[in-house]
Structure 1
């Protein structure tokens, strides 16, 4: 540990004002780093330097005779500043040594306590930062694992389950053509229709889990398709504006984050907002990728979600955490009767090539 000169000077000013005496602090080499007499700063305190070089760390006094013989020294009493069994400097108080001694010892304890307090605070801050970093790492890992699992299940539903259901549909159609009873044929066709409905549901589930378009063509294409299906399903008009974007690709974590936020925001609108129309904006501006979702619904008191973890707020907190992992900004503005606006900005740190293979700067 080393004494910071500005911190030492602050302590000197406090102690000198209390004792009404000149006070100075040296570093662990005997160089004055703080003094009530500012002109002494950076001078060598010869008495302190000799004590520090002698080996044993101890208190010492300076007489009037030594003041005349040594440079940078005034009569008084000096006490080493000890932190964690290490000498980090010396504090001295001028005056008659026997009078200055108790004040110097008290001042040294004050300086040591302040240093130890700062050290504990810095340790706590480091521990907190390490904890937050670990939490972010774990959260990022959890999200990555979830997305990989979603992708795996989506592909299995699309490739295996969908194909099996399609084979059943074809087989039922063929079977219906080989029965002679009209009643039996109708039952087979009803069964086929049920399988068709199931196939559509499986396809919808696969897209919800992980749209193939997102991996193949990117965020814009996936967003357009999702909004198209969403408008058809919920009968809510969604106006999508894409600004300064086309087939450009971004980091997978950026694309999936914005897609999931769009998905969550539109789902919340369908469930709670009672909105008739929604405006979605996707744009790139000054090295940042932006998503804005604004609805015409009933709105809510946005202040109520701050610091809460109710079921109604988990989706919003999840969006906020996803954006924070990418060093982005997440804001939500809403008031009762005025609709809701969700805005996300994520810095674009890196880009991929476009589908044509030509890289474009982002």
Structure 2
């Protein structure tokens, strides 16, 4: 048998235009990985017509593969979501290497599904920005979204319950313990007025009165920290002003208090509570960690948001290091991390954002923005 009749080995090719056995094996492995990938994967041409779809794509869209081939991918997006698919295709055509976005797709008989889509441009011909094809990976995040919504609702209820309990305990301290301390003071006054007392008796009564006054102050401070009555009775501006003035005296740190926008504006109770707690936590962090010489507190509103700002000229901190401790799966340690996490969770529950600007040695600025409903 001549050389031309010998079978090909794994590293030989049949001709210059034919793929090697290695390339064929790689192609088979790629095809298997594509077909059986857990996420929906599709290949489209540059204008979005489907060329290939894996098993997960067929299951997600709930149509036969033969039906999908040749159809425009945006056709299977939920109404109101198609424009984002076309925008993605346009971006890749303009030279972007990839794009990612949240959207919804229609699943036959099961309603729209929430998805996270990632599109990557294939190779581009020399001199052209248009990719030869687009590779799509679309992950169904419907159940994850539902779980997150449930978690957020449970967190909201927990926060509301905590605030209600804070309010109840604060009122009990004010109305119960506070009134009993007032009664004790009146009783001491009655003893003084009852008749002549020795100098030693006067000294002892003065000492007891001092203890009562100090205990009353501590009870008042505790009740205010739990839930200041002014927040419910007079609103955010009055409650925050009162808290800032008292904090400045205790911490011995000069503090400026300013109103952003119109004075005396009231917000929904949940908005006022969150902003007050941000200021409260921000000043607590300043007192414990910042070593600040001056602090500024601002609250109020813009056209779209209710805003709270706490700014200090203290030591600052490494935000990147703290941010790593706040990643999912990491356990925050220390008051700063726990304080930031608590503020972020409170702000997120009302759809707001928390921004922290800090550099070691250059102070810290905490900005909370909460959207106001029209």
TM over 0.5: yes
Shift of 1:283: 2.9
- Which residue in 2 is equivalent to 1:267? 284
TM-score w.r.t. structure 1 length? 0.65
Asked whether the 8 Å contact 1:327–1:346 carries over to 2, the reply is: yes
Deviations 1:277-304, CA, capped at 9 Å, x for gaps: 0111223112211111110001111111
Whether 2:169 is the aligned partner of 1:169: answer no
Asked whether the 8 Å contact 1:279–1:294 carries over to 2, the reply is: yes
Shift of 1:163: 0.8
What SS is found at the alignment partner of 1:180? coil
Find 2:231's aligned residue among 211, 214, 237: 214
- Which residue in 2 is equivalent to 1:229? 246
Deviations 1:21-79, CA, capped at 9 Å, x for gaps: xxxxxx67x9966449x9xxxxxxxxxxxxxxxxxxxxxxxxxxxxxxxxxxxxxxxxx
- Which residue in 2 is equivalent to 1:180? 197
Asked whether the 8 Å contact 1:8–1:33 carries over to 2, the reply is: no
Asked whether the 8 Å contact 2:295–2:313 carries over to 1, the reply is: yes
Unaligned ranges ≥5, structure 2: 1-40, 54-62, 73-134, 326-331
Shift of 1:217: 1.1
Please give the alpha-carbon distance, in whole angstroms, between the structure 2 residues aligned to 1:128 and 1:228.
Answer: 45
Shift of 1:134: 1.2
- Give me the CA root mean square deviation: 2.9
Please give the alpha-carbon distance, in whole angstroms, between the structure 1 residues aligned to 2:50 and 2:168.
Answer: 66
- Which residue in 2 is equivalent to 1:70? none
Asked whether the 8 Å contact 1:12–1:35 carries over to 2, the reply is: yes
Shift of 1:307: 3.5
- Which residue in 2 is equivalent to 1:356? none
TM-score w.r.t. structure 2 length? 0.63
Asked whether the 8 Å contact 2:297–2:308 carries over to 1, the reply is: yes
Find 1:328's aligned residue among 352, 356, 367: 352
Asked whether the 8 Å contact 1:240–1:280 carries over to 2, the reply is: yes
Shift of 1:329: 1.0
Whether 2:152 is the aligned partner of 1:136: answer yes
Task: Describe the shift of the 1:12–1:314 C-alpha distance in structure 2 as closer, same or farther (beyond 3 A).
Answer: closer
Deviations 1:312-362, CA, capped at 9 Å, x for gaps: 310100001111111111111111110001111110116xxxxxxxxxxxx
Please give the alpha-carbon distance, in whole angstroms, between the structure 2 residues aligned to 1:167 and 1:31.
Answer: 86
What SS is found at the alignment partner of 1:307? helix
Please give the alpha-carbon distance, in whole angstroms, between the structure 2 residues aligned to 1:31 and 1:188.
Answer: 95
Shift of 1:12: 5.8
What SS is found at the alignment partner of 2:341? helix
The structure that has the greater radius of gyration is 1
Shift of 1:9: 5.6
Asked whether the 8 Å contact 1:8–1:34 carries over to 2, the reply is: no
- Which residue in 2 is equivalent to 1:80? none
What SS is found at the alignment partner of 1:143? helix
Asked whether the 8 Å contact 2:43–2:52 carries over to 1, the reply is: no
Alignment of 1:234-245 (within 5 A): 234-245=251-262
Please give the alpha-carbon distance, in whole angstroms, between the structure 1 residues aligned to 2:70 and 2:198.
Answer: 110
Whether 2:212 is the aligned partner of 1:195: answer yes
- Which residue in 2 is equivalent to 1:54? none
Q: Larger helix proportion, structure 1 or 2? A: 1
Alignment of 1:303-342 (within 5 A): 303-308=320-325, 309-312=332-335, 313-342=337-366
Please give the alpha-carbon distance, in whole angstroms, between the structure 2 residues aligned to 1:183 and 1:162.
Answer: 28
Find 1:204's aligned residue among 202, 210, 221: 221
Task: Describe the shift of the 1:206–1:33 C-alpha distance in structure 2 as closer, same or farther (beyond 3 A).
Answer: closer
Please give the alpha-carbon distance, in whole angstroms, between the structure 2 residues aligned to 1:245 and 1:129.
Answer: 38
Runs of 4+ that moved beyond 6 A: none
What SS is found at the alignment partner of 2:255? strand
Whether 2:172 is the aligned partner of 1:156: answer yes
Unaligned ranges ≥5, structure 1: 1-5, 16-26, 39-113, 351-362
